Amino acid sequence: MIKEKNLIPKLREELHLIPSFVREIIQSFETQKITRSFLNDRDLYACSKVFDEIGLKIFISSVKFSMESDLGKGGYSNAILTTTSENSAEGFYRVHIGANENDLAIAKQMDEEGDDVGLGKMLGIPDCCIQKFMDYQAQAVDIQNDYLLGIQGGQISPWVNVCGQYFEYGLVSYFPCSPYCKYTCEQSENNFNLLSGFSREFAKEFLKYQFADYVYSEYDGIHMIQSGSYVDSQTYRYENAVIESSSRNLLSEMLRKGDNLSIRSPSDFSIYSQKSLISNISSEYVKFFIFDRGITID
Ligand SMILES: [Zn+2]
């Protein structure tokens, strides 16, 4: 039997699972939450052994799925391309993980039937965020099945700031309905406290990604800025040496050449190096999220 204090090292260092998936497994271990994910053969085998030891159940799809590869986003959008045979070595099983077999059977069936509302509730997603997901679905299909552009840009609560997911860190695993969704704030803080109980160091790693600013783009990567601040209501200054990008491309290089942004709106801004203009960015596929400095950790 794995001792609780060894669970996070086991999941991270031995199984090499990404931090946000480790966070979900901890949630399923400690609460009634069901975790839904896609696992390849290797991860499924490794996880099953550990789940057995800690008493978590895993329900596995009868078919495998292949994912559409997205542009510079590390697969977070999870757009399913096709189903393949379970005998294929390639592809991913869709899995539901939790402590209660009845709940898992219901969740698996809802997933198979495409009951997004029912499944969302089983996954612990707040009603307001499920509703937003349903309303935005048709638009998301056009843009790599991603819901992030559906969130209003500009200021956002650091607890709702989900761009960290593209860097494998996120305190929730769904798309929030709004920049200050109070249920998401609550859930995110609860998850932080839950993780802190297991490992203070591991929990703190998440804060770096929650309390950061992001230039999100649908097709040119997501770019995290850790060092920015507003000089006045339109001028945002940053250190270009500490930008992290989900992929390197034209936008990431322009941001790295610059050191301040002149912001007209979250989707319309100019990148400057001191006073010299590098580029104007104006696109419905780009959004700037800056975390609310008024919110701090208690
Ligand atoms: Zn919400």
User: Mind listing the pLDDT tens digit for each residue in 61-107?
Assistant: 988 988 766 666 555 555 566 677 666 778 899 999 999 999 999 99
CB < 8 Å & 24+ apart, contacts of 278-282: 278/254, 279/254, 281/251
> How high is the pLDDT of residue 75?
52
Distance from residue 132's CA to the centre of ligand 1 (Å): 8
> How high is the pLDDT of residue 67?
75
Q: Are 225 and 213 in contact (CB under 8 A)?
A: yes
pLDDT in tens, 10-57: 999 989 999 999 999 999 999 989 999 999 999 999 999 999 999 999
Distance from residue 37's CA to the centre of ligand 1 (Å): 21
In the predicted structure, residue 218 carries a pLDDT above the cut 90: no
> How high is the pLDDT of residue 131?
93
> How high is the pLDDT of residue 143?
63
pLDDT in tens, 134-182: 887 777 666 666 777 888 889 999 999 999 999 999 999 999 999 999 9
pLDDT band of residue 258 (cuts 50, 70, 90) is very high
Distance from residue 251's CA to the centre of ligand 1 (Å): 30
Distance from residue 198's CA to the centre of ligand 1 (Å): 27
pLDDT in tens, 266-286: 999 999 999 999 999 999 999
- If you average pLDDT over residues 108-119, what whole number do you get? 94
Residue closest to 35 by CA, chosen among 57, 6, 18, 16 = 57
**Which tops the pLDDT comparison, 121 or 87?**
121
pLDDT band of residue 2 (cuts 50, 70, 90) is low
Angle at 75 (CA atoms; ends 41, 189), nearest 5 degrees:
100
In the predicted structure, residue 239 carries a pLDDT above the cut 60: yes
Tokens of 106: 């219901």
**Which tops the pLDDT comparison, 218 or 75?**
218
> How high is the pLDDT of residue 28?
95
> How high is the pLDDT of residue 120?
94
Provide the CA 256 distance to its chain's centre, in angstroms.
24
Distance from residue 15's CA to the centre of ligand 1 (Å): 32
